[in-house]
Chains A and B, each alone.
Chain A
């Protein structure tokens, strides 16, 4: 079955340090790939997306993600984390098939320490 795996449930990073959140998907073809962020009590906000072309995509708030077909991965990165980045991050895939919708990973909670 198609699935999205975010191996890290919770990550703590020091402010100013770099960040990488992992995402792996299980699907035969390359789906469309997304990262969303959810702050407490808020809805999900789209950070970035990949559907073709350059495998390194830039998003909002200084985030970027790299698609690696050989590893079925779409990891999210940020070179220097700010305290305001503390939130829950979700990786999602769009299989682009009729009758399907975005499939989300379980999420990674990011805490930022000072």
Chain B
């Protein structure tokens, strides 16, 4: 157990739908990062939150959004889902550079 909890582990949904992925960071970590992992694109950084505020933005689509709540858990919202959104979505937390990130076990999203 890495200390980063992601739910659900698996999600199957239809095109056009909206889903919410949840992440609880490791105790004491203020930063949460979201990554998308697919076979063709590899690990792509989506977005970072630090203590409730957006800090960095990567290759996140406009159909995707995220937030971090006062208890530091984070949610990634994916809407108007397309087949190409099928991927593993990872959440990671960090205490800051240079400590690296601790990853959760991911949510596997399948859009059908």
Contact = CB atoms under 8 A, between A and B. Distances in A.
Interface stretch (A19-27, A65-73, A79-87, A98-106): A98-106
Nearest to A102: B101
Interface extent on A, as a size class?
A: 20 to 34
Interface string B55-78: 111100000000000000000000
Contact of B45 (A32, A98, A103): A103
A49 B104 contact: no
Interface in B22-81: 33, 42-43, 45, 48, 55-58
A102 to B, nearest CB: 6
Interface residues of B, number: 23
A34 B43 contact: no
Contacts of B13: none
A107 B92 CA distance: 18
A61 to B, nearest CB: 15
A27 to B, nearest CB: 14
Contacts of B33: 101-102
Contact of A101 (B4, B56, B106): B56
Contact of A106 (B42, B90, B101, B105): B42
Contact of A94 (B57, B98, B102): B98
A32 B98 contact: yes
B90 A32 contact: no
A105 B42 CA distance: 8
A94 B33 CA distance: 13
Contacts of A96: 97-98
Contacts of B57: 99
Interface of A: 32, 34, 36, 42-46, 49, 51, 90, 94, 96, 98-107
